[in-house]
Amino acid sequence: MGSNLKTAPQEKILRACYEALFYAWGPQHWWPARTRFEVIVGAYLTQNTSWTNVEHVLRRLRGAGLLSVAGIRRTALPELESLIRSAGYFRQKAQRLKTFVAFLDEHYGGSVNRMFAQTTEKLRVELLALNGVGPETADSILLYTGNHPVFVVDAYTRRILERHGIVTANARYEEIRWLLEHALSNFEHALSNEVPTPPATPRLTNAMVKINPIHRPSLMSTSRRSNLVQIYNEMHGLIVGVGKHYCLKSHPRCDECPLQRFLPKPS
C-alpha cells in the first residue's frame, strides 16, 4: 500500500485492540435489523444523520408495510419522501432508494439473495456506481447484509487510528480498509476458525468501563456468518463504542479509554 501506512507493528496493535475491547465489552450486535433489505435501507438512511432518526423511519416504513423491495418499488416518490423525512436529506435518500430497487430489478430480478451471490469485487464495483453510494455505504451493505469480508471504515475508525499513530491524516479510505482487513484476516482466531468468546462477566481492567452494546440482538445481528466476517463486524461495532464514549471529536477521554495503553508514547 501507500506510504501513509505502516504495517507490521500496527497490525499487532489492531489485533491487540480487538482482543482488549471484545474481552471487555463482548458482542455489539451489528447490524440491527429483521431482514437483509432492512439493512440496506438503513445503510442509505443513516448517511448524515443519527441512528435514532433512522430507527424512527424504519418503524414508519415497517408499520406501513413498505419495508421491502416490493414496498419501496410501489411507493410513489412523494409518499416515500414524506415517510423518510425525519432521516434528513429525504429527497435525495428517497430517490437513491428508488435507484437501488431499479438496479436490483434490472440486474438481479429484484432478488437481494441473488445479488449477494456475486463476488465481492464485482458487487462492490456495481454498488459504488450507484448514485449516493460511497465506500462506507457500499461496504456496510456488503458486510452487514451480504456477509462479504470487507471492513467498514467510518469517521470513528479514522479518528481513532490517527490518534494512535496508525494512519496519517491524509490516508485514503482504501488504505485504511486494506490495513484493517490485512491485520484481522491474519488474526489467530480467524485462522483457527474460532471467534473469541467473552466471559459471562467481562473483566474490567485499568480504566475500562462496561458499556452496553450499541444495538440489541436482532435477527440480522445474530445470523450465521463466516468467522472472518464476524470479526470484521465486531471490530467495527467496538470501534464505534470507543468513538461514542471515549475518542470524542473535541474532548477525548483518553485517560478513561480502554485503548489508552495503545497510544504512542510521548517522544
Which CATH number fits the domain that encloses residue 210? Answer: 1.10.1670
Q: Which of 119, 145, 171 is the last residue of a domain?
A: 145
Domain assignment present for 207: yes
Residue 183 shares a structural domain with residue 203? yes
Residue 49 shares a structural domain with residue 106? yes
Residue 132 shares a structural domain with residue 180? no
Residues contacting residue 29 through CB under 8 Å, at least 6 positions apart: 213, 214, 215, 216, 217, 218, 221, 222, 237
C-alpha to C-alpha distance for 207 and 141, rounded to whole angstroms: 34
CB 229, CB 140: distance < 8 Å: no
Q: How many domains does the chain have?
A: 2
Q: Per-residue pLDDT averaged across 53-74, rounded?
A: 97
Does the pLDDT at position 192 exceed 70? no
CATH number for position 65: 1.10.340.30
Q: What burial class does residue 216 get, using C-beta atoms within 10 Å of its C-beta: 0-12 exposed, 13-18 middle, 19+ buried?
A: exposed
Residue 169 shares a structural domain with residue 230? yes
Residue 181 shares a structural domain with residue 230? yes
Residue 145 DSSP class: I
Q: Which of 128, 145, 162 is the last residue of a domain?
A: 145
Helix (H, G, I), strand (E, B) or coil at 93: helix
CB 255, CB 6: distance < 8 Å: no
- Determine the pLDDT at residue 117: 98
Domain assignment present for 15: yes
Strands (E), 82-198: none
Domain assignment present for 1: no
- Determine the pLDDT at residue 191: 41
Q: Which of 145, 169, 193 is the last residue of a domain?
A: 145
Q: What burial class does residue 205 get, using C-beta atoms within 10 Å of its C-beta: 0-12 exposed, 13-18 middle, 19+ buried?
A: exposed
Domain assignment present for 2: no
The secondary structure of 187-237, three-state, reads CHHHHCCCCCCCCCCCCCCCCCCCCCCCCCCCCCCCCCCCHHHHHHHHHHH
Domain around 56: 36-145
Q: Per-residue pLDDT averaged across 110-116, rounded?
A: 98
Q: How does pLDDT run across 8-32, given as a tens digit for each residue? A: 788 999 999 999 999 888 899 988 8
The residue with greater pLDDT, 115 or 2, is 115
Q: No. of H helices and E strands in the chain?
A: 13, 0
